[in-house]
Amino acid sequence: MRVRSRWYKKDKSVSIDEIAGALAFVAWRIGQNAVNKMYNAGFNYRSNVQQLAVIGEILIFLIQVTDRLAYEELEEDDRVRFVTELARRLAGTLADNMSDEAGPGDYRAPFIERLNERAEAYAEFGFTDGEPSYPFLRYLGTCVDQLMGGQENKWVIEQVMEVEAPAAVKTLRRAFHNLLEGKKPEVEGEGGMPA
């Protein structure tokens, strides 16, 4: 999957919040792409709401991956601010899409609650050299299986672990590093948009 993840105006400063916003856009696209690839591979969804639930699990996974990557690259205060802003933006995007599909409701709070629950579990799993461990990937597969498993989707855990998650991590890692690479010290003014 190709995504644009370089800053268009390199001479402008870019804030942590702007980088988080750009990465949130990339993460959303990664989640959509994974769901579409799974559908094209023969996995079935009962509804668009179920697809969005699966995207939500992938987003939670990507937030955990980002937190591990940010731990290596950012000062602690910047890391916390960055990951919090990323989660806030993804919760908003997911909530907007859920409102479109399922009608008005509070979709942010359940997503954030699930994110916090999953974060405790993901914290137990290793992450080395920019790669999640087998249990890290297995946990995502299990979470997706709980949403769409069953006889018609009996190989979903393997598909997530062996195909979707590694591709998602690769794209996210590249985008994360590309977006941080162009960051200059924050000064007054707006940052450029991602190209």
For residue 21, tell me if it sits in a domain. Answer: yes
What does the buried/exposed string (b/e) look like for 103-133 if buried means 16 or more CB atoms within 10 Å of the residue's CB?
A: eeeebbeebbeebeebeeebeebebeeeebe
Query: Phi and psi dihedrals of 75, rounded to 5?
Result: -65, 155
H-helix or E-strand spanning residue 90? helix 76-102
For residue 3, tell me if it sits in a domain. Answer: no
For residue 166, tell me if it sits in a domain. Answer: yes
Are residues 38 and 156 in contact, defined by beta-carbon separation less than 8 angstroms?
yes
Are residues 87 and 21 in contact, defined by beta-carbon separation less than 8 angstroms?
no
For residue 134, tell me if it sits in a domain. Answer: yes
For residue 20, tell me if it sits in a domain. Answer: yes
Give the separation between CA 98 and CA 112, rounded to whole angstroms.
Answer: 14
Give the separation between CA 88 and CA 112, rounded to whole angstroms.
Answer: 8
For residue 191, tell me if it sits in a domain. Answer: no
For residue 140, tell me if it sits in a domain. Answer: yes
- 177: tokens are 């590093």
H-helix or E-strand spanning residue 167? helix 165-181
Give me the residues paired with residue 131 across strands: 128
Domain count for the chain? 1
In terms of residue numbers, what domain contains 149? 16-181
The pTM of the whole model exceeds 0.85? yes
Task: Compute the chain's Rg from CA coordinates.
Answer: 17
Contacts of 138 (CB under 8 A, 6+ apart): 157, 161
For residue 49, tell me if it sits in a domain. Answer: yes
Q: Please report, in tens digits, the pLDDT of each residue of the chain (195 residues total).
A: 555 545 455 556 788 999 999 999 999 999 999 999 999 999 999 999 999 999 999 999 999 999 999 999 999 999 999 999 999 999 999 999 999 999 999 999 999 999 999 999 999 999 999 999 999 999 999 999 999 977 788 899 999 999 999 999 999 999 999 998 865 434 333 334 343
From its phi and psi, is residue 108 left (phi > 0), alpha (psi between -120 and 50) or beta? Answer: alpha
Give the separation between CA 90 and CA 84, rounded to whole angstroms.
Answer: 10
**pLDDT at residue 190, as a whole number:** 37
**pLDDT at residue 184, as a whole number:** 42
